[in-house]
Amino acid sequence: MELLGHLADGFATSLSPLNLFIVIIGVTAGLFIGAMPGLGSVNGVAIVLPITFIVPPASAIILLAAIYYGAMYGGAISSILLGIPGASTAVATTFDGRPMAQQGKAGLALIAAACASFVGGTISVVLFTLFAAPLADIALAFGPAEEFALVLLAFTTFVGLGGDDVLKTIIMICLGLALSTVGLDLISGQPRLIFFDEPGFYSGISFLVLAIGVYGIGEILYTIETQKTAPQVTPAKLTFTELWYGIKEINKLWKTMSLGSFLGFFVGMLPAAGATPAALMSYGIAKLTSKTPEKFGKGAIEGVAAPETANNAASTGSLLPMLTLGIPGSPTTALLLGGMVMWGLVPGPMLFIEQPDFVWGLISSLYTANLAAVLVNLALIPLFVWALRMPFTVLCSLVFVLCLVGGYAPSQKLHDVWLIVGFGVAGYLLRKADYPMAPLVLALVLGPLMEKSFRQTLISEQGNVLAFIERPISGTFIAISVIFFALPLLKHVKRWLKRDLSPAE
Amino acid sequence: MKTRFTRRMAMALAASAGLMMAGPAAAEEWAPQKPVEMVIMAGQGGGADRLARLFQSIIQKEGLSKMPILPVNKGGGSGAEALRYLKDKSGDNHVIMATLNSYYTTPLRTDIGVNIEEFTPIARMALDTFVLWVNADSDIQNLDDYVAAVKAAGGSWKMGGTGTGQEDSLVTAMLQNEFGLDITYVPFKGGGDVAKNLVGGHIDSSVNNPSEALGFYQAGKLRPIAAFTPDRIEVFPDTPTMTELGHDLVYWMQRSFVAPAGMDPAAVAYYTEMFEKLNATEEWQTYTQEKALMADFLTGQELQDYFLEERAKHDELLGSMAEG
Amino acid sequence: MLTADRVIAGAIMALSVYFMWHATVLPIGWNGETGGPGGGAFPFWLSAIMFVCAGGIILRSLREKPSDTEPFFDSDTLRSVVIVTIALVITVALMPWAGAYIALPLFLFWYLKIFGKHGWVVTLAITLGTPVFLFFFFEVTLKILLPKGFTEPYFIPLYARFF
């Protein structure tokens, strides 16, 4: 019961009036930062971090947790309203969130995202509290081979994400993977694919640049063409009855959400994997287990809830390797790690024993921040929905400006802004020719992980390809991916056989 | 919210009009007029990044700079991106760069059209140390055990480290040359990743900086075998140095600040003084002790000489690596 | 539609070849020494797959009968897409020289007043409000400096006031 005592102490601190005020401010700021295309929790945390050395440590942790959660919730907002994923973790949210917004159900999608995030966050914080220490050992068991198998598993969820045109889906996956190799080859330490000898390519092509280009600029160009003056979406209204209806709808999603939470937490906990594969796998599994898989991609509420529970759960899960192993799973946790070092804490297995105040203070802050985030988010949904009712040209011009500035902000290179415009035009043309965009963007995110772990394994195993199958964890994952991959293929074959047989009858 | 902003804006405009009429302030006492960009030669989350951000927060906390210092990561191409950027910023008084050893190794390894002699040295803050680590579960207790184990493995001994051509791989090459070892080098993304894989048993040894392995060491998961330093490291009093054991293997990671070519000498003096004050702060001194860093402050021409000397050493080292 | 499909597939093939050419700088084969594929292998073979698939699309289009005669572009709306793209390019090109605080309001003004045909009130409110918001949100709050170009000196007093 020592654990509960620690938690109670933590809560007592996080519920003081000053800290509650800090939570609200932090969550609101995080929400807006996360909702801005291009900006995410990493920007919020980077700004707040220096301040944390001035305020009392307990308040500092709460502020950071609040910004972290706020930004996570905010990421879904731009995915749903504008169709621009603000972070790679929110790509899967656009699949169904965007169609929902276009059908005038933006409010419902936002409520679903908020509630799902809350459930994901809560379940994962509970898991965190109960099993933090033993779970760290699982993370340790993950070497390069296991990482590769996990990414492969995430990749198989692509099957079915693209349109019916298999050739075009393959092209987009390959293009995304090829673009992900631009920059430095980690294994040989040599630069590669430095187009036109531009120094900007040394750092590779970031996910944000491609996503803002394709989903931001490309999408608006596409809409300008299809409907120059007509409103982009059916204006959405939000009343209390609808809010109530929304919450009732969400109540039916417990299976999806609990599955997403567990999956998200466990995948997020593994260093190097993080929330993007988690959200993607959760979406894939929700579609696979759904009774109405054909609704996915056309505005299914489960399609919003599944990735949102998973990415929030994964973001909490990713704090685990940071605290217990000192390995950041994302740029944001890397900054937090730096912060901890500056507060004089040594992340690692001893942290839970030597600094229980910090650890349990952080966990109770997470509870508080999560609760505050869902409340603030729900309260602000009418405002966000209202923003969609702006005249189309006004909204467009503002989104263009946000895309340009949001693309510049993370790297502060004009090179990236040019790339955004280029990707925007290319994305517009490709979309017109029915090339699917999601495989392209997700391949860019997962590509580096996949190549790196693949080659690391082969180097350490002296070129033995069988190493992937021989190791128990990675072998299991690969077997599951093969099944996942074969399922839709079998369906195709079945259909094809039937079609071939029917004329013969 | 909005109205307050506009009022502040109006006040600022009025203030700016007043200032412009007053003309530029006295020139002799130089101070930054706009936020100073601190380019970091590495990506977010690495050791270099963490240290640079530590400097930033100490500067902010102690009020050492009139304008905020804004860290910007330009880690592309092992720092090639940052070096090219600094070259393009010639004469800019509001850019400084946090460097590590890739400051000399990157231009040596690939021709990126940058000569580090042209840049303006500001201050060297610290030298980071390297230690040879094994998993605490292994039977290896000392350097002799280690060498014997690697030889017995016959080339399948896995040494983890950062990217090929970066510091860890150089230290590994030195080790291989000295003892005639055959090691498989597995590159990872960062030092923390390497340490975790060593604890998880996915690699057999590493040459992590102490700060990267400290958490695991304190938990009894990793064992230091020998330090690549001339003197013993304070936090590992029982770990012998390579020099002690009769092997001339010393390697440092330098943490310095440089500025673009042609920076105003008054500005150079300003930044040098800022880092001098930073060097004297209690936070920095405690940090270096805890993390086994050598706070070896160096500025001006001496620092430039140090850079050039190190560049020559690394040229030789890289050459021997290419042969082996 | 079919022609456009072929042109795009052809462009993808050209892009693949360009990628492959770049990738050959590093070893593209299985490297016996380190036990894995070389640094150029991933980009090279992925581009090769892309090349083959795009070729497949062209072949497929040759077999297909041109059933839909619907043009790929509607000439009227295409015009607006091209104009907006040009405006974006000009805006980005202006940024390093004139700074974000001139380029972006110019773009907004053009888009709202000339392209969108909005009234003066909406146009001016957004054109003038956006840079103020950008300055306070990005520069003051998030400490992310936007490009200023020749307008830099005019910001020095603002920095002195707000930082």
Residue B97, classed as helix, strand or coil, is: strand
* Residue C68 falls inside a structural domain: no
Residue of B nearest to C39 (CA): B164
Range of the domain at A471: 2-504
Q: Which residues of chain A have pLDDT under 70?
A: 1-3, 158-164, 227-239, 271-273, 488, 492, 499-505
**Distance set, CA A244 to CA A83, A117, A238, A304, B302 (Å):** 25, 18, 10, 18, 71
The pairing of strands B253-259 and B120-128 is antiparallel
pLDDT of A315 reads 86
Q: Which of residues 66-105 of C touch A (CB under 8 A)?
A: 72, 74, 77-78, 80-81, 84-85, 88-89, 91-92, 95-96, 100, 104
Range of the domain at C33: 2-63
Alpha-carbon distance A320 to A139, whole Å? Answer: 9
Q: Phi first, then psi: what are they for B83, rounded to 5°?
A: -65, -45
| Closest listed residue to residue A238, CA positions, set A90, A387, A342, A131 | A387
The pairing of strands A190-192 and B36-40 is unpaired
The answer to whether the CB atoms of B45 and A348 lie below 8 A apart is: no
* Residue C90 falls inside a structural domain: yes
pLDDT of C66 reads 62
Residue of A36, A175, A179 to mutate, interface with C, max C Cβ within 10 Å: A175
| Closest listed residue to residue A121, CA positions, set A385, A373, A378 | A373
pLDDT of C65 reads 67
One-letter amino acid identity for A469? I
The pairing of strands B95-99 and B253-259 is antiparallel
Contacts of B18 (CB under 8 A, 6+ apart): none
Residue C145, classed as helix, strand or coil, is: coil
Beta strands (DSSP E) in chain B are: 36-40, 69-73, 95-99, 120-128, 131-135, 157-161, 183-187, 205-206, 222-227, 253-259, 293-294, 298-299
Nearest to C157 among B6, B16, B67 (CB): B16
Determine the distance from the C-alpha atom of residue B43 to the mean position of all C-alpha atoms in its chain, rounded to a whole number: 12
C151 and C81 together in one domain = yes
Q: Are A116 and A444 in contact (CB under 8 A)?
A: no
* Residue C26 falls inside a structural domain: yes
pLDDT of A436 reads 86
Alpha-carbon distance B34 to C156, whole Å? Answer: 6
Domains of chain B: 35-127+253-316 (3.40.190.150), 131-227 (3.40.190.10)
Alpha-carbon distance B321 to B106, whole Å? Answer: 15
- pLDDT tier for residue C32 given thresholds of 50, 70 and 90: low
pLDDT of B173 reads 92
C42 and C98 together in one domain = no
ipTM: 0.93
Alpha-carbon distance B61 to A52, whole Å? Answer: 10
C83 and C56 together in one domain = no
Those chains having 3 or more beta-carbon pairs within 8 angstroms of chain B are A, C
pLDDT of A197 reads 82
Alpha-carbon distance C69 to A251, whole Å? Answer: 48
pLDDT of B3 reads 42
Please, what is the average pLDDT of chain C? 88
Q: How far is A355 from chain C (nearest CA, A)?
A: 31
Query: Does residue C33 carry a pLDDT above 70?
Result: no
* Residue C69 falls inside a structural domain: no
C42 and C114 together in one domain = no
Query: Does residue C21 carry a pLDDT above 90?
Result: yes
Contacts of B151 (CB under 8 A, 6+ apart): B181
* Residue C156 falls inside a structural domain: yes
Residues from chain A contacting residue B216 (CB–CB below 8 Å): 325-326, 348-349
Give the model confidence (pLDDT) of A281-337 as tens digits: 898 888 878 888 888 888 889 999 999 999 899 988 888 888 888 777 777 887 788
C19 and C92 together in one domain = no
The answer to whether the CB atoms of A404 and C22 lie below 8 A apart is: no
The CA radius of gyration of chain B, in Å to the nearest whole number, is: 22
**In chain C, how many domains are there?**
2
**In chain A, how many domains are there?**
1
Q: Which residue has the tokens 């040098």?
A: B272
Beta strands (DSSP E) in B235-288 are: 253-259
pLDDT of A236 reads 57
* Residue C70 falls inside a structural domain: no
One-letter amino acid identity for B86? L
The answer to whether the CB atoms of B188 and A347 lie below 8 A apart is: no
Q: Are A7 and A360 in contact (CB under 8 A)?
A: yes
pLDDT of C93 reads 95
pLDDT of A430 reads 92
C55 and C80 together in one domain = no
pTM: 0.87
Give the model confidence (pLDDT) of C45-103 as tens digits: 999 999 999 999 999 888 876 665 566 777 777 888 899 999 999 999 999 999 999 99
Q: How far is A102 from chain C (nearest CA, A)?
A: 21
For chain A, what is the largest distance between any 2 Cα atoms, rounded to a whole number of angstroms?
A: 81
Q: What angle do CA A277, B164, B141 make, to 5 degrees?
A: 95
Contacts of B269 (CB under 8 A, 6+ apart): B30
Q: Which residues of chain B have pLDDT under 70?
A: 1-28, 45, 323-324
Give the model confidence (pLDDT) of B239-265 as tens digits: 999 999 999 999 999 999 999 999 999
Residue A340, classed as helix, strand or coil, is: helix
β-bridge partners, B72: B39
Fill in the DSSP letter of residue B35.
P
Helix extents (H) in A103-239: 106-140, 144-156, 166-180, 207-211, 219-226
Residue A150, classed as helix, strand or coil, is: helix
